[in-house]
Structure 1
Amino acid sequence: MFGGLIGGVAAFKLLPVVSFFLIIFAIPAAWVWWSYYVPQWRHWALQRGADPEQLQYLAERANLVWPKGSIFERTEFRRRGR
């Protein structure tokens, strides 16, 4: 998420216009990627027999997901039928 942001700041003196777009779009692009792939990953893990509570606990500890009920957790793109 912060790679594009840091790259944009570092390259600002060389390419200010490109850096501006990297800085502005890095975080939203990473957030959309996360919002799509976290439910995919969760589905993948549950299909392989992971305990849902343990999966949530470990994912929160690793800062992969937000706590249940968090406003940020609601930005995940839900799978159809779930």
Structure 2
Amino acid sequence: MTDKFTPIRLRGLRSEEVHEIDSCTSAIGFLYSLWPRKTGEKRASAEQACRQALAGDITPDEARLAFYEAALEADILDQPRD
């Protein structure tokens, strides 16, 4: 099973940075290394969903939705709303 999903574009810490997240693995990496705040209910839910998808308990698209909602809450989306 793949952990890939439709890419989500996020703004980085610097204004010119844009990151394209297209898998649960890259989402977890972004959550740990580049997320603007290390707390938040939706951030925690996104991490849990990505881990569940990697374990095969939910689909990557379900994890993408949780990650998207966390990015929306953190105001780091670099694209129009889905």
Tell me the TM-score normalised to structure 2 length: 0.28
Indicate the structure with greater strand content. Answer: 2
More helix by share: 1
TM-score (norm 1): 0.28
